[in-house]
């Protein structure tokens, strides 16, 4: 069910000031628009239309019920400034996930899904930017022809992709001026934008859903009801049947809940195979049966890469199911495990062939589904030839759509207008660090950011991060578990019991909390299928008229009534907490509080501050 289109508030008007087109609500400015380039000017013939001129191009705005349609010719540039008290959100995921979005400086670049983009772009990108004052900018069609930047400084980023194993978390850079709120857009093709003028941020978001939509059903409920466990961070690629069973038995021996165990890289003998490595996994069906007896559904890690040595690779090449060079030769693309052929997802025959392969493995072994990794645009070379010509980021849409259509018990990580998919979207591989630069803090900020561009079903990456060269401290493990426990889903790999008895006891307590909160979380997921409301919400959602709520990056709401304020800084045992208007009760005790700030609220290492709305 799509939301009904919103009506533009009667109080929002356009006024011209030289080259600027300013939107006002009563006497308060909401945003200033101006065209890029020399000889900039603005004109308006009536209250229904305006034009912005600059650099030899004209951008035309036509009034609609919800705001204005902006018509950008190819080559036109547009800047939108917010007043200092307002903030931008949106666009998607980044390596440094600052919240709000205007805390970073990002040079204009094509919208494109990336595995660790050179400027910090992440796996999910969307042409939607929302402001805390109810303004929003949205492209009707998502395309790499639209370039976007935030508070650009003219500093070039590196030009080449590097894998997560070589990555750092310092991209995008932080904004130089904390009071600047500039969104910069450049159209390389004719582009239609929607300038939404709503009463507040939730209303602007609901209007944006008219274009992006929302899922009709939830992901498989076992993925939401109990923790997911995965082999990756603990074992990396050094796995076999014995270690998987050892892991599963240890989870149960230590009393942890969990309904899904994911066997990550490398259960295959060669990448692209759809049978188990017989040396490592001599009897996979028996393994899956034993895991089921222990209470686990089994999922397998899979990518669209087909390496030399896998029987499927030669078959796919012979059938024309891989992307190719212009001369017809299979294209060997670079990814984090070397080079491989890439499945041509633009071909219906190739999709059917791959679905049949994966379903045959599912039928033969009893696995429940798959973890669909990779799929970002950067893995499809710009000069590659596909069965059906596409923009590179459309590959991400096809990969996630394929996962959702055929194997809904699982997850994907790349997104390109995939908001309607009833599948978990996993955050990019987190570092075992504390900050918003791809550490613990970014788990919260990325969940908030993705929710505001219409992805309600977000899977935080593994508790404690991936341990890529970092040692996971007991404190970090505890705080990470606490931060994720009330989220829609949680995923463990690093065993808490290996960090000591105290860590084990505290983490198990919060794993149990995750299960206890399952009815709330599933209810919030079901609401998203009705009206698109994100289950994990920022403070500005609950109090859109409160300026202090707009920049809070270290709290979230689960649904309407449970506020979570995790500790995201090393060594902190008390923190400031902001409560939206109303009455709130500490989840763990009977103390009640009115909305507003709680200063230095106690948060010892074993405590997660949470509050329930009263009344």
Pick the last residue of a domain from 196, 212, 228. 212
**Which pLDDT belongs to residue 6?**
54
Q: Is there a domain that residue 399 lies in? A: no
DSSP type of residue 122:
E
* φ, ψ at 484 (rounded to 5°): -90, -20
Q: Is there a domain that residue 161 lies in? A: yes
Q: What is the maximal distance between C-alpha atoms in the chain? A: 76
Pick the last residue of a domain from 212, 238, 258. 212
Q: Report which secondary-structure segment, H or E, holds 93.
A: strand 88-94
> Are 493 and 233 a contacting pair, CB within 8 Å?
yes
> What b/e readout covers 585-609, taking b as 16+ CB neighbours within 10 angstroms?
eebeeeeebeeeebeebebebeebb
**Which pLDDT belongs to residue 469?**
86
401-444 pLDDT per residue, tens: 999 999 999 999 999 999 999 999 999 999 999 999 999 999 99
**Integer-rounded Cα radius of gyration of the chain:** 24
Task: Indicate which CATH number applies to the domain containing 571.
Answer: 2.60.40.1180
Q: Quote the CA–CA distance of 66 and 164 in Å, as a whole number.
A: 41
**Which pLDDT belongs to residue 11?**
77
Q: Is there a domain that residue 529 lies in? A: no
Q: Is there a domain that residue 598 lies in? A: yes
Pick the last residue of a domain from 212, 247, 282. 212
**Which pLDDT belongs to residue 168?**
80
**Which pLDDT belongs to residue 158?**
65
Q: Is there a domain that residue 455 lies in? A: no
For residue 267, give Cα distances in angstroms to 238, 272, 301.
Answer: 9, 11, 8
Q: Is there a domain that residue 606 lies in? A: yes
Task: Domain of residue 20: give its range.
Answer: 12-212
Q: Low-confidence residues of the chain, pLDDT below 50? A: 1-2, 4-5
**Which pLDDT belongs to residue 188?**
98
Q: Is there a domain that residue 101 lies in? A: yes
Q: Quote the CA–CA distance of 71 and 58 in Å, as a whole number.
A: 9
**Which pLDDT belongs to residue 160?**
77
> Are 418 and 397 a contacting pair, CB within 8 Å?
yes
Residues annotated as catalytic are 373, 376, 437
Q: Is there a domain that residue 224 lies in? A: no
Instruction: Give the count of domains, the chain.
Output: 2
**Which pLDDT belongs to residue 1?**
47
Q: Quote the CA–CA distance of 544 and 557 in Å, as a whole number.
A: 14
**Which pLDDT belongs to residue 394?**
98
């Amino acid at each position: 069910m799509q939301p009904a289109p919103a009506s533009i508030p009667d109080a929002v008007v356009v006024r011209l000031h030289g080259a600027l087109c300013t939107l006002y609500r009563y006497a308060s400015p909401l945003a200033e628009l101006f065209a890029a380039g020399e000889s900039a000017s603005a004109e308006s013939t009536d209250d229904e239309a305006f034009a912005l001129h600059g650099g030899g191009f004209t951008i035309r705005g036509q009034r609609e019920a919800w705001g204005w349609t902006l018509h950008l010719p190819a080559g036109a540039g547009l800047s939108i400034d917010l007043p200092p008290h307002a903030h931008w959100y949106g666009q998607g995921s980044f390596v440094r996930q600052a919240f709000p979005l205007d805390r970073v400086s990002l040079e204009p670049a094509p919208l494109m899904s990336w595995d660790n983009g050179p400027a910090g772009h992440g796996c999910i990108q969307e042409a939607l930017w929302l402001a805390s004052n109810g303004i929003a900018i949205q492209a009707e069609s998502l395309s790499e022809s639209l370039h976007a930047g935030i508070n650009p400084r003219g500093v070039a980023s590196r030009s080449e992709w590097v894998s997560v194993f070589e990555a750092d978390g310092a991209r995008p850079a932080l904004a130089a001026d904390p009071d600047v709120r500039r969104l910069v857009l450049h159209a390389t093709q004719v582009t239609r934008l929607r300038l939404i003028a709503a009463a507040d941020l939730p209303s602007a978001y609901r209007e944006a859903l008219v274009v992006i939509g929302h899922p009709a059903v939830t992901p498989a409920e076992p993925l939401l009801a109990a923790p997911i466990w995965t082999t990756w961070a603990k074992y990396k690629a050094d796995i076999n049947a014995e270690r998987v069973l050892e892991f599963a038995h240890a989870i149960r021996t230590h009393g942890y809940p969990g309904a899904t165990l994911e066997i990550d890289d490398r259960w295959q003998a060669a990448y692209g195979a759809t049978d188990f490595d017989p040396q490592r996994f001599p009897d996979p069906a028996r393994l899956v049966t034993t895991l089921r007896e222990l209470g686990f559904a089994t999922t397998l890690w899979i990518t669209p890469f087909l390496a030399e040595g896998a029987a499927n690779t030669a078959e796919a090449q012979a059938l024309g199911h891989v992307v190719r060079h212009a001369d017809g030769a299979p294209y060997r693309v670079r990814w984090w495990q070397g080079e491989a052929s890439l499945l041509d997802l633009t071909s219906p025959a190739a999709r059917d062939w791959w679905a049949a392969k994966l379903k045959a493995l599912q039928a033969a072994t009893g696995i429940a589904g798959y973890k669909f990794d990779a799929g970002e645009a950067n893995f499809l070379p710009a000069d590659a030839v596909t069965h059906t010509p596409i923009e590179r980021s459309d590959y991400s849409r096809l990969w996630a759509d394929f996962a959702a259509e055929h194997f809904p018990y699982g997850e994907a990580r790349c997104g390109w207008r995939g908001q309607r998919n009833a599948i978990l979207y996993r955050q990019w591989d987190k570092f075992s660090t504390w900050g918003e630069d791809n550490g613990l803090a970014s788990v919260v900020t990325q969940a908030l950011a993705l929710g505001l561009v219409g992805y309600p079903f977000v899977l935080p990456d593994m508790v404690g991060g991936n341990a890529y060269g970092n040692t996971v401290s007991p404190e970090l493990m505890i705080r990470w578990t606490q931060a994720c426990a009330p989220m829609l889903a949680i995923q463990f790999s690093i065993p808490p019991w290996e960090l000591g008895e105290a860590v084990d006891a505290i983490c198990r307590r919060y794993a149990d909390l995750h299960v206890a909160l399952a009815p709330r979380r599933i209810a919030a997921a079901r609401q998203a299928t009705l009206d698109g409301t994100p289950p994990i919400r920022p403070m500005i959602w609950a109090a859109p008229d409160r300026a202090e709520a707009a920049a809070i990056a270290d709290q979230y709401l689960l649904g309407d009534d449970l506020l979570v304020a995790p500790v995201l800084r090393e060594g902190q045992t008390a923190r400031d907490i902001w409560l939206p208007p109303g009455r709130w009760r500490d989840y763990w005790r009977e103390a009640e509080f009115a909305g507003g700030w709680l200063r230095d609220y106690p948060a010892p290492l074993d405590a997660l501050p949470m509050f329930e709305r009263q009344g």
